[in-house]
Amino acid sequence: MPQHITPEQIDEWLATHDLADMDAFAEHVRQVTRNHRICLEAVLGITRRELTELGEGSSRLVADIARDHQHKSPVSIVEKILRKPGELSLGNFAAEIDDLVRFRILCNYLGDVERVVERLAASQTLLRDFDIVSSEDRIWEVRLPVEDALQEDRRRRLRLSGVRAHYFVFESRRFRKVKMEVQVATLLEHAWDQKDHHLVYEPERTGEPIPDRFRLRVKAVSDLLYVADEFLEALRREREGGQA
């Protein structure tokens, strides 16, 4: 559960850094993330071309790009800085936060997720200008070995979280320490995430306690949709003659 940050804490942080209000910080964010926005548009353009080529010859839509949540809000940035005072600051957040700009690729089937992930990981056009900082599968690989208390805590959070997507973090070769996040998920996973955002994330963010039992029930819906995704993938392969 993320630490709840109060409006008073945010106001105090703004005042400490001589920022009149959130609008002043938003302007600062706009200035220091100019290169992030340039990179976002570049990766969006490359991704659109890769998805178009991937879908050529197919009678159905393989994948598309979600239109929302492409920029982290100024409020979310301040909250993240306040949650990690030893790691993040006004001076370094633009270089240290991976998802200031991000987007999600929505796929019809699990097999399409694999194809899109493989396509992006091998894209010479993309890799010419960007390095892959991390590539993390949170769809299938949700179990971790318990090596220490930290791992146990992460494993517990994974059990309580129903998030299922593949996460890339890309870093620009042109602009130093400019990173962005790209997620690849199925349409069903994306639909669940929208509900989880309303039922769990937003209430938790404002300080409302979310019982583990409630969280597990929300996660159970994600698990059911994952089963549906697996079943639909099997039906697709049967219908299309076993094609991956």
pLDDT of residue 143: 42
Domain assignment of residue 177, given as a range:
7-187
Token code pair at residue 124: 């010479």
pLDDT band at 14 (very low <50, low <70, confident <90, very high): very high
Residue 169 lies in a domain: yes
pLDDT band at 243 (very low <50, low <70, confident <90, very high): low
Give the total number of structural domains in the chain: 1
Residue 213 lies in a domain: no
Sign of the CA dihedral running 218, 220, 225, 230: positive
Mean pLDDT of 152-175: 78
Q: Which one is predicted more confidently, 243 or 91? A: 91
Residue 233 lies in a domain: no
Percent of the chain clearing pLDDT 70 (strictly above): 89
Separation CA 143–CA 157 (nearest Å): 11
Residue 136 lies in a domain: yes
pLDDT band at 60 (very low <50, low <70, confident <90, very high): confident
pLDDT at 157 over 50: yes
Instruction: Enumerate residues 6+ apart whose C-beta is below 8 A from 205.
Output: 2, 4, 79
pLDDT at 145 over 50: no
Among 64-68, 123-127, 161-165, 192-196, the minimum mean pLDDT is found in 161-165
Mean pLDDT of 115-123: 97
Q: What is the pLDDT of residues 34-56, one digit of tens each?
A: 999 999 999 999 999 999 999 99
Residue 80 lies in a domain: yes
Separation CA 30–CA 37 (nearest Å): 9
pLDDT of residue 131: 98
Separation CA 168–CA 55 (nearest Å): 21
pLDDT at 216 over 80: yes
CATH number at residue 168: 3.30.460.10
Mean pLDDT of 102-117: 96
Residue 87 lies in a domain: yes
Residue 63 lies in a domain: yes
Task: Report CA-CA distances (Å) from 51 to 45, 67, 133.
Answer: 10, 15, 21
Separation CA 240–CA 242 (nearest Å): 6
Q: Where are the alpha helices (DSSP H) in 85-201?
A: 93-96, 110-122, 124-129, 149-160, 187-196
Separation CA 10–CA 14 (nearest Å): 6
Separation CA 60–CA 229 (nearest Å): 17
**Contact (Cβ atoms closer than 8 angstroms) between residue 186 and residue 157:** no
